[in-house]
Chains A and B, each alone.
Chain A
Amino acid sequence: MRTFRGTPVPRPARTAVPLLAGALLLGACGSGGAEGAGSAADGKVSGHITFQTWNLRAQYKDYFNGLIDEFEKAHPGTKVKWIDQPAENYPEKLSADAGGGTLPDVVNVSPDLSYPLAKAGLLMNLDKEPVTAQAKRDYTPEAWQGNELPGLDGAYAFPWYLNTGPLFYNKALFKKAGLDPAKPPKTYDELFADAAKMAKSSGGKVATLAGVPAIEDFGRYGVQLMNADATKFTYNGPRGVELLTEYKKLFESGGLDSQALSATPESAGRKFLQQRVAMNPGSAHDLANFKENAPDLYKNLGITDAPADTGKPNMYVMGLGINDRSEHKAAAIAFARFVTNQRNQESFAHQVAVFPSTKGSLDKPYWTKDDGTDEGRVRVASAKMLDGAVNYTPVVMTDEMKTVLQNEVAKALQGDKSPKQALDDAVAQSNRLLQQG
C-alpha cells in the first residue's frame, strides 16, 4: 500500500480495472519531488554540473559557450553542460524536471518560479550558507530582495539580469487624436483621460490599451496587493475598486480593445504592431521586432514609463537558483557566481537589452549617457526607471490566481458584477487557493 506523508492511501479498487477501456480518456497527472540531500556548499569546486537558461541559446550561444570555457579553464575538473529551454511552457519543463529529480544544478528562475521550487525544498537558501550569504554585498539590495521569498526566510537565487516594463506608444495615433506625443500619460488619471479622447476622436476604431489591468497595474496604482506576511490578498480595498471602476468606464468608452477581456501579452503585442492600439507594455527586446516587422510604427514609436501613481515602476528580476540536491553544489555555486559577477553581467547587458543587478553597474556611462541611438535612448530611460523600481507581482501569485483576477476583472468590465463584487470574489478565490498551499 502506497503512502503519502505516512497516511495510507488505499490501493485502487479491483473493480476499477475493467474501466481500462476508457483509460485513454484520462491524462496522467504526476507529482512528486526528488529525494536526497546535496553535497556541501563549501566543498571543492569540481564535477559535472548542468546549467539551464530560458530561451537564450538562439541569440547568445557564443557568449555562453565563452563563459563556460572560461569557467572550466579556471576550475580544472569541472564540466558545465548547458541546456536552454524555449520560452513557452518553461514552468512545465521545470516541474517535469523537479518531479523527475533532474532539476539542473544551476537554473534560470524568476522569483515566481523559484517560490514553488524553494517551497518544495528544491532550491538552496542562499542566506543560510556563509559561502553564498557573503555574495549579497555584490548585488544591489533591490535585486537581492527581489529574490527573497515570503515565508521562506531567505533569498533563493543569485540576482542576474533586470528588466523594466517600458510602455511603448504610437506617436502618430496620439497626434491624430489631438494628444501631445511628447507628453504621454504618467499617471492613471492621465491615461484614462487620454484614452477617452483617443476613443472619441477615432470613433472607437483605435483603442488605447489591448488588455485588462493586471496585478502590476493595481500595484502601480497604489493598491495594497497583499498583507505584510503575504498570507492574504488585499487588492479588493477601496483603491482597487476605484481603479477597476475607472477601467470599466474606459472599456465602455472604447478605450480598451474589444478583445481585451481575453487578451494575452502576445495578442496585445500583435494589435500594437498592427497599429490598432496606441499603447502597449513591453520590454527592450521588442524594439528589434518593431524595426523589422513594423517599420512605420518604429518611426513613430514613443517610449515612456508605465503609469505609476506610486512613482515606482515595475521591475522584472531574473536569477540563478542552485539545486539544493546538487551533487556538486560547490561547483554550481561557483558557476552561478561567475555568470552573475559584475564583469559578466555587464558584458551580457552589452549584448542584450537587459540591465545588470551588480552594485554600481548602472552608474556607468553605458547606462547613464544617451549615445543618440534609439537603443541608447531606451537603455538610458529604462535604467533610470530601475532606480527605486519594485517587483509588484507577488511571488506567491500563481498563474491560476492571475487567471482568476483577469476573469473577475472581465466580469466587472462586462457589467456582470460590480467592481467591488468582482474583486471580492477574485480575492476570495485567490486566498482559498493560497491556503491550499
Chain B
Amino acid sequence: MSVRTQGVRTHRAASPWLFLLPGLAVVAVFVLYPFLSTVQHAFTDARTLTPGVWVGLRNFEEMLHDPQFWTALRNSSLYAVVVVPSTVLLPLLIALLVEKPLKGVVFFRAAFYTPVVASVVVVALIWVWMLDDRGLLNSMLETVGAGPVSFLGDAWLVLLCAMALTVWKGLGYYMIIYLAALAQVPKELHEAAAVDGAGPFRRFTTVTVPAVRSTMVLVGALSSVAAFKVFSEVYLLAGPTGGPAGEDSTLVMLVQRSGTGLSGRVGYASALSLVIFCIALLLMLLVLRADRKEKTA
C-alpha cells in the first residue's frame, strides 16, 4: 500500500504535463513556432524565395510611409467601429426573440444559424449576385423607380456591404452564445422587476443586460479581434485589388497582397502581421480592463 502511494506521489507533478504534452506539441509546432518565426521575419527583408538579412525597424518605417497601410488601417478600424457594436447588440436582441418557447421558434433559430455553417465564399458570391448592377437589389430598386445603385463600384458602399455581410453571417453564432447566457438569468429577477412595474425595455436594461454583461464583453472581444482580421468578405466583394483604387483594402488583405506569390515580401508582410497582432491584443486588453473596472465599481 505504501509503495503504491509513493509511486503516485512521485508522478504527481509530471502527470499533468504528460497529459498536456500532445496538445502542447501541436501548439508549439503550429502556433508557437510560426508566431516566433513571424516576429523574427518582421525585422528582416526576407522574400518568398530568399532568406532575408536583419534590417531592424525598416519594415515598420516603410509601413509609416505606405499610403496603402493607412488606408487599410482606416478600413480595419472602421470595420471594428461598425461591426463590433452590431455584433454585440443585434444577436442579443435576436436571442431574446428566439429564446421564448413559442411554436415554430426552432425554425427561426435554425434560420438565423444557417449563415454560420454556410461557406463564406458561397455566401459572398450570393451577395455579389444580389448587389450587382443588374442584381436582385437593383432590380427591386428599379421597380420602385430608384437606382441603379453601384453597390460594388463605389468604395464606401462595398465596405458597408462587406460589414453588413460580416454582421449577418455572425448573427447566428453570437445568438447561440447569448442563448446560453440568457438561460442562466434567473426568471425571478424578471418577475420581481415586473412586479415593481418595470416595462420590457426597463427589464432589458436593468435585468437582462447586467446579467449577460460578461457574455457581451466576450462577444465584444471576439468580434473586435475578428473585425481586425477580416479578409474573406472584403476580398470577395471588393476583389483582389481591394475595391476601386484599393480603397477597401484591410490590413489582412495588405498582408496577403504583399506577402504572397513568388516575389512576396515576407519581411514586410510579417511586420504588418505583427502590427495586426498588437492592435488586436490591445483591443482585447482594453475590453477586459473595462469589464474589470465595471465589476469592481
Residues on A close to B: CB < 8 A? 2, 4-5, 7-9, 12, 16, 19-20, 22-33, 91-92, 94-95, 98-99, 113, 116-117, 119-120, 122, 258-259, 261-264, 267, 274, 276, 398-400, 403, 406-408, 410-411, 414, 416, 433, 436-437
Contacts and interface: CB of A to CB of B under 8 A. Distances in A.
B190 interface: no
A364 to B, nearest CB: 36
Contact of A29 (B134, B259, B262): B259
Nearest to B37: A28
B258 interface: yes
B46 A4 contact: yes
Given A12-B40, A26-B38, 19 more contacts: A2-B40, A12-B36, A16-B39, A19-B281, A20-B35, A23-B31, A25-B277, A26-B277, A28-B34, A29-B37, A29-B46, A30-B37, A92-B260, A95-B48, A95-B262, A259-B153, A261-B153, A262-B243, A407-B245
Contacts of A30: 37, 266
B29 to A, nearest CB: 11
B36 A262 contact: no
A213 B72 CA distance: 24
A233 B50 CA distance: 23
Interface residues of B, number: 62
A31 B239 contact: no
18 contacts: A4-B46, A4-B54, A5-B53, A8-B54, A9-B40, A12-B36, A23-B35, A25-B277, A25-B281, A27-B38, A30-B37, A98-B48, A116-B49, A117-B49, A259-B133, A262-B241, A403-B240, A411-B245
Contacts of B264: 29, 95
Nearest to B38: A26
Given A26-B38, A411-B245, A7 B261 contact: no
Contact of B261 (A16, A398, A406, A408): A398
A22 B54 contact: no
A31 B265 CA distance: 10
Contact of B49 (A5, A33, A414): A33
A92 B238 contact: no
Given A23-B35, A26-B38, A5 B261 contact: no
A403 B238 CA distance: 13
Interface stretch (B168-176, B210-218, B268-276): B268-276
A390 B227 CA distance: 45
Nearest to A259: B153
A400 B44 CA distance: 19
Contacts of A29: 37-38, 41, 46, 259, 264, 266, 269-270, 273
A416 B245 contact: yes
B49 A119 contact: yes
Contacts of A95: 48-49, 260-262, 264
A98 B262 CA distance: 9
A26 B274 contact: yes
A236 B261 CA distance: 26
B80 interface: no
Contacts of B34: 23, 26-28
Given A12-B40, A26-B35, A406 B255 contact: no
A416 B35 CA distance: 39
Contact of A406 (B158, B241, B270, B276): B241
B45 interface: yes
B263 interface: yes
Contact of A9 (B44, B48, B269): B44
Contacts of A259: 133, 150, 152-153
Contacts of B36: 12, 16
B54 A7 contact: yes
Nearest to B256: A27
Given A5-B51, A12-B40, A259-B153, A414 B281 contact: no
A31 B51 contact: yes
B53 A26 contact: no
Contact of B229 (A25, A28, A119, A276): A25
A25 B280 contact: yes
B242 interface: yes
Interface in B11-58: 27, 31-41, 43-54
Nearest to A412: B245
A4 B52 contact: yes
Given A8-B54, A261-B153, A31 B41 contact: yes
B85 interface: no
**What 10 pairs across the A-B complex have the smallest Cβ distances?**
A28-B34, A23-B35, A261-B244, A120-B49, A410-B245, A116-B262, A407-B246, A398-B263, A262-B239, A258-B153
